[in-house]
Amino acid sequence: MDTPYEYRNRDISWLSFNYRVLLEAEDAAIPIYERLKFMSIHASNLEEFYKIRVAEHRSVIMQKIHSDEDPAEAEHTLEEIRKEVTRQQTEFYRIFHEQILPELARQNIVLYMDNNLRPEHRSFADSYFKEEVFPFLQPLILMKDEVRIFIRDNRLYQVVVLRKKDTGERQYALLKIPYAKTPRFIELPPLDNQYYYMFAEDLIAVNLAFVFKGYEVEGSYNIKISRDADLYVDEIQTDKDIVETIKKRVKKRKIGDLSRFVYDRRMPADCLQYICETFAIQDDERIPDNNAHLNMEDLNKLPNPIGAELQLPPLKCLPVAALEGVKSVLSVVEKRDVFLHYPYHSFDCFIHFLMDAASNPDVEEIKITQYRVAPDSEVINNLISAAKRGKKITVFVELKARFDEENNLQTAALMQEAGIRIIYSLSGLKVHAKVALVSKKANFRGHKTAFAYVSTGNFNEKTAKLYSDMAVMTSQKTLTTELSRLFTMLETAHRDVSFNRLLVAQFNMVDALKMMIAREKKQAHQGKKAHIILKMNGLQDNWMIEELYRASEAGVKIDLIVRGICCLATDQPYSRNIRVIRIVDRFLEHARVWYFYNAGQEDLYISSADWMKRNLYRRIETAIPVTDRRIKRTIINTLQIQLEDNAVSTQVQIYRMLQA
């Protein structure tokens, strides 16, 4: 794309977001177990990043996938990623050792970081190992070129350096830490009013002589492997048995190509070389770790022996005034729009919406999209209940929701057994919209009433407690009619449909956004007030970023709240009127909200779509206009509060600090 504008690298930008997550662990005002949670999230995020983004770059280099990225560009990006990750890992362990462990100790919680146990604990550790761990160990002597061993993805292994006592011959062994049978953190007897824990791999390390009798144990070192977990399901262009295609690809995920090999930096060079040759690990796949303990996403599993005072108290949900004390949610929505802001409002409001639809004798049909649902989902249970009551239920199940493919297959089968009509993924695209439509029977005048629920987040009661999302319930006929049109398109795959008020990606969304940006530019050129506020998870599409650059050059004031990837370059002449902040706090900022001043009319949309290429051009996403004056003012006020925040918001280009 020939352009005078600059765009930030999406992967480095994402890593800056993950660094911001890590910084939360430094905040001494946050209870210690919440800080541990942020460290866990940082590590977990990084693992997924290697499974998807790094694996994709490697696939480009090996020319295994079709991509717009050049192999040389992919190699350069991987080198920048390696540098940034190395910096962040150094920071991770500095925070952990200098701040987290001392704070745990102040709370009388001791986490052993080596094998130097107190004598009182050593005998317990030996007994625990023999009774609870040893029966599940499967030690393997590595025999290069003779025995093929497969290292599983994201599992912790221990490489043991051995020497035969009778011959002096050196050998290497491999142990998989049996987390399925034993916890990652072993609780030891309390001493002197202190609680003690140790890593399972350390417990094993101090008992290796018991495992390898006849050998002298010279050392043990932890390793892990990350594998390509992207199924590349977005590329599926056929409708022929998409369920079987997804099932086959899910099975292959666990044996995907290697994307990184992480090892304890203390590992001797000859041992490292032997391991790499045995498992065909390339030099650029090796990532040394300064810490002996890997898979630190498990920090969220560290037991809390003290209790609630070391964690944040559960959030008490605010009442939704319009729904307080009412028997029928639908009767309220028939008269007025209802706004929900999770997790500050309870997801039970939507569950009651479904329950009301299931029990209302006048309701004949429910249609809904499924992207990610919770295990043992109340949403699914209520849909099944509605089907058993004779309602016509249609669920569009997106099988290509990454890491939720198996769960979606299982819940779809469950719903089918209950008589629910299931429509699976469309070929060549994902349906990411979060919409539901409830339709009543026609009354004696032939009039049919419908109720829509449109959200920025999934129909998932678990994430609704962790993610900050917005939703609107409405019976506005113009919106419910267009939403019905959208579901018809999903059911028939016919693309000759049009939308007016409802914005739908691949139909009218991009054109509508460009029109609204152009309108603000026109106002600015005329010397009038022009203002755009955009809140989203990711801003990556160069075409839309260019529209914002041009609006900035025209004098439009632009405020962006972008949690994750942001490829827009601030501090440039063409972005001088653009401010970008990132908010990372207790809840994951997940809502997408678009505001355009429009000469004082203040157009406002909530949406499922980020401004990423995949969202705008390869998925079905929706955005609805918020027209209720009270709801509009509530959302605008929320945006203003976030823009004025000086506690948890940061400038998006924070990663420059790391590279300085």
Sign of CA dihedral 587, 588, 594, 597: positive
Task: Supply 268's token pair.
Answer: 């001797």
Task: Give the C-alpha separation, 229 to 445, whole Å.
Answer: 55
* Rounded Cα distance, 454 and 483, in Å: 9
Judge contact between 655 and 17, C-beta under 8 A. no
Cβ neighbour number for residue 445 with a 10 Å cutoff: 6
CB 443 within 8 A of CB 496: no
Would you state the structure tokens that stand for residue 368, as one six-digit string? 């809904």
Q: Which tokens sit at 133?
A: 């761990």
Amino acid at 613: K
Separation between Cα atoms, residue 160 and residue 219, nearest integer Å: 6
The SS3 of residue 472 is strand
Q: Quick one: tokens of 286? A: 């090796």
Q: What is the Cα–Cα distance from 575 to 652, expressed in whole angstroms?
A: 14
Contacts (Cβ under 8 Å, ≥6 apart) of 564: 13, 14, 17, 537, 538
Task: Report the amino acid identity of residue 127.
Answer: S
Q: What share of the chain is helix, strand, coil (3-state, %, to 5)?
A: 40, 25, 35
Q: Which residues contact 584 (CB under 8 A, 6 or more apart)?
A: 17, 20, 21, 23, 24, 563, 648, 650
Tell me whether strands 286-289 and 531-536 are parallel, antiparallel or unpaired: unpaired
Q: How far apart are CA 312 and CA 318, in angstroms?
A: 17
Per the annotation, the verdict on 432 as an active-site residue is yes
Q: Give the whole-angstrom CA distance, residue 253 versus residue 569.
A: 35
Q: Using CB atoms within 10 A of its CB, is residue 472 exposed (0-12), middle (13-18) or buried (19+)? A: buried
Phi and psi angles of residue 161, each rounded to the nearest 5 degrees, phi first: -90, 120
> How many other β-carbons are positioned within 10 Å of the β-carbon of residue 413?
12
Q: In what order do the strands lie in the sheet with 109-112?
A: 109-112, 194-199, 185-191
**Active-site residue (options: 293, 352, 432, 590):** 432
Q: Which helix (H) or strand (E) holds 350?
A: helix 348-359
How far apart are the C-alpha atoms of 91 and 113, rounded to whole Å?
17
Q: Which residues contact 266 (CB under 8 A, 6 or more apart)?
A: 219, 221, 292
Q: Is the alpha carbon torsion for 7, 9, 14, 18 positive or negative?
A: negative
CA 47 to chain centre: 11
Element (H, E) at 561: strand 557-562
Residue 551 burial (CB count, 10 A): 23
How many CA atoms are closer than 13 Å to the CA of 199, on its beta-carbon side?
A: 20
Q: Report the Cα–Cα distance between both ends of the chain, in Å, rounded.
A: 29
Torsion sign over Cα 353, 354, 355, 356: positive
Q: List active site positions.
A: 432
